[in-house]
DNA sequence: GTCTATAGGAAGATAGAC
DNA sequence: GTCTATCTTCCTATAGAC
């Protein structure tokens, strides 16, 4: 076992506690919003008293900012990873659909952190919001370029405003936490619907051939978590 | 001037103050969320002291519930009104697009109340949320029937799950307050993009003829407020 | 109808024992 | 590392004068 392995695999008890606090905060951010998330509730959920929380974090805002930060990064990294998994001959539209599906998946099941980051965006205090926008620069560029590639390839309806279309579709997936219920349909189903909807929305009347609207098997929406 | 006119036109001073309080609360709900909206801030925005607010409302929650209630009703009524304005030969897809555009318009400009109602949905306390769901029943049915009519008319991609598609698209328009900036594009532009996107998304590969994806002039996205 | 003053409680944060 | 006890601030809501 390498030293790096030891440091990463076996989380110290201290790291575990810290993580429980962040998990609790992410959960509460989703249910109560930014201002509704209380340190006392975080402590209760993490099975601690309030002062123990302040041993790990300087302030309430520091906890919440770290949650948002992690959530944004998880979403970005997952989208990048899924894009890299695509076969080299994937079309521009294939890449766009895979990106939205990867983002949606993170929001819905893999990460309460990502859902929290998306849902509290508009509620952050000014300074936190500014830092978040700064961090999100790379993601913003990535999404812009994905859509732009589709336009240049002639696969995206040229009558659509690219920015508005991108934001509408991101909104559609970010909002999904409000209504998605795993009991009413599997993750695979919802991801398939999302991909179909995104493909239709962006291709528009260009999607004349039957194959253009049907993703290939290689673009499976199923998420395979890393070991 | 009819007596009804007199009652509606000339709002009593008392009604005006009450309205200022609700306006302030709607604005704050959008910016701060449910838990972040303070009575003291409502009072300041309404140019009052806190006790004056409690002269008009029994509690903080009573103010916020009325805002949400009004917001939901405004959205519903506006969608119904716009549907009634459509020419009788409008297609099922025309009706769906007009409905989403009417909802988006309310969310973006005509009503801070509607935006507040949509954005705070997930943050309401259990009892308020239950009452809101009860009130939203009629709206839910209306949206379901709109999409269903499209499916039955063969104008909606049959491979889409109707419920998921409806919720994704409502999410897309509800989320628009997070990013839409009037300085970057007019209301007419954003409504046109939304209609195009909704039409594409739902029609999918069925939208093979050029006309199918181009709304007619009769379906102007411009909102004309009542006198 | 609107105000000043204030009760009563809950929240964020810290001191200091263990 | 985690706790009990406590400080300070801010919030909702009310009492009562004008």
| pLDDT tens digits, one per residue of B46-55 | 999 999 999 9
Which pLDDT score is estimated for B9? Answer: 60
List C-alpha distances in Å: B171 to A57, A178, B176: 34, 9, 8
What's the domain range around B133? 68-219
Chain A residues whose beta carbon lies within 8 Å of the beta carbon of residue B93: none
Q: Residue B36 and residue B94: Cα distance in Å, rounded?
A: 39
B-interface mutation test, from A166, A171, A195, A221, most B Cβ less than 10 A away: A171
Q: Residue A134 and residue A126: Cα distance in Å, rounded?
A: 12
Q: Is the pLDDT of residue A80 over 80?
A: yes
Rounded to a whole number, what is the distance in Å from the CA of B190 to chain A's nearest CA?
A: 7
Over residues A46-63, the mean pLDDT reads 98
Residues B161-216: pLDDT tens digits?
999 999 999 999 999 999 999 999 999 999 999 999 999 999 998 876 444 444 44
pLDDT > 90: percent of chain A: 84
Any domain includes B45: no
Q: Residue B61's CB: how many other CB atoms inside 10 A?
A: 14
Any domain includes A187: yes
Residue A97 tokens read as 């659909």
Higher pLDDT, A225 or B123: B123
Strand C neighbours (CB under 7 Å) are A 37-40, 50-51, 54, 58-61; B 12-14, 17, 48-52, 55-56
Question: How many distinct structural domains can be found in chain A?
Answer: 1
Do the chains contact at A193 and B160, CB–CB below 8 Å? yes
Burial pattern B191-207, b for ≥16 Cβ within 10 A else e, equals bbbbbbbbbbbbbbbbb
A-interface mutation test, from B64, B119, B168, most A Cβ less than 10 A away: B168
Higher pLDDT, A8 or A176: A176
Do the chains contact at B171 and A170, CB–CB below 8 Å? no
Do the chains contact at A34 and B34, CB–CB below 8 Å? no
Q: Is the pLDDT of residue A218 over 50?
A: no
Instruction: Tell me the torsion sign for CA atoms A126, A64, A112, A110.
Output: positive
Residues B76 and B132 sit within 8 Å (Cβ to Cβ): no
Q: Residue A212 and residue A93: Cα distance in Å, rounded?
A: 9
Any domain includes A41: no
Query: Cα(first)–Cα(last) distance of chain B, in Å?
Result: 15
Q: Which nucleotides along chain D are within 7 A of a protein C-beta? A: 1-5, 10-16
Q: Is the pLDDT of residue A156 over 50?
A: yes
Do the chains contact at A174 and B171, CB–CB below 8 Å? yes
Over residues A98-102, the mean pLDDT reads 98
Residues B21-75: pLDDT tens digits?
999 999 999 999 999 999 999 999 999 999 999 999 999 999 999 999 999 999 9
B-interface mutation test, from A39, A97, A201, A214, most B Cβ less than 10 A away: A201
Do the chains contact at A200 and B196, CB–CB below 8 Å? no
Structure confidence at residue B222 as a pLDDT band (50, 70, 90): very low
Q: Residue A169 and residue A99: Cα distance in Å, rounded?
A: 11
Residues B193 and A164 sit within 8 Å (Cβ to Cβ): yes
CATH code for the domain of A151 = 1.10.357.10
Which pLDDT score is estimated for B11? Answer: 73
Which pLDDT score is estimated for A8? Answer: 56
- Return the nearest residue to C15, CA–C1': A51
- Nearest Cα neighbor of A147 from A79, A81, A99 is A99
Q: Is the pLDDT of residue A182 over 60?
A: yes
The reply to whether the CB atom of residue B52 sits less than 7 A from any atom in nucleic acid chain D is no
The reply to whether the CB atom of residue B33 sits less than 7 A from any atom in nucleic acid chain D is no
Q: Residue B177 and residue A175: Cα distance in Å, rounded?
A: 12
∠ CA B109-B112-B115 to the nearest 5 degrees? 90
Which pLDDT score is estimated for B208? Answer: 60
Among B33, B171, B205, the residue with its CB nearest the CB of A176 is B171
Q: Residue B168 and residue A27: Cα distance in Å, rounded?
A: 23
Q: Is the pLDDT of residue A219 over 70?
A: no
Residues B99-116: pLDDT tens digits?
999 999 999 998 999 999
Residues B140 and B121 sit within 8 Å (Cβ to Cβ): no
Structure confidence at residue A226 as a pLDDT band (50, 70, 90): very low
Any domain includes B188: yes
Q: Is the pLDDT of residue B134 over 50?
A: yes
Which pLDDT score is estimated for A82? Answer: 97
Do the chains contact at A205 and B207, CB–CB below 8 Å? yes
Going by the DSSP 8-state scheme, the letter that residue A1 receives in this structure is -
């Amino acid at each position: 076992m390498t030293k790096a392995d030891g440091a990463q695999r076996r989380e110290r008890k201290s790291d575990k506690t810290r993580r429980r606090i962040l998990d609790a905060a992410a959960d509460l951010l989703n249910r109560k919003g930014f201002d509704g998330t209380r340190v006392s509730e975080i402590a209760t959920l993490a099975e601690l008293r309030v002062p123990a929380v302040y041993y790990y974090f300087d302030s309430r805002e520091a906890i919440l900012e770290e949650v948002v930060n992690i959530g944004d990064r998880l979403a970005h990294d997952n989208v990048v990873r899924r894009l890299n998994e695509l076969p080299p001959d994937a079309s521009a539209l294939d890449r766009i659909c895979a990106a939205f599906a990867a983002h949606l998946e993170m929001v819905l099941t893999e990460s309460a952190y990502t859902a929290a980051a998306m849902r509290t965006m508009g509620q952050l205090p000014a300074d936190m919001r500014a830092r978040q926008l700064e961090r999100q620069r790379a993601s913003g560029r990535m999404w812009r370029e994905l859509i732009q590639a589709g336009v240049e390839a002639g696969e995206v309806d040229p009558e659509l405003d690219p920015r508005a279309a991108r934001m509408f579709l991101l909104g559609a997936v970010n909002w999904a936490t409000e209504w998605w219920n795993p009991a009413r349909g599997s993750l695979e189903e919802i991801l398939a619907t999302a991909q179909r909807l995104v493909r239709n929305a962006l291709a528009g009347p260009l999607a004349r051939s039957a194959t253009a609207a049907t993703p290939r098997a290689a673009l499976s929406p199923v998420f395979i978590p890393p070991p």
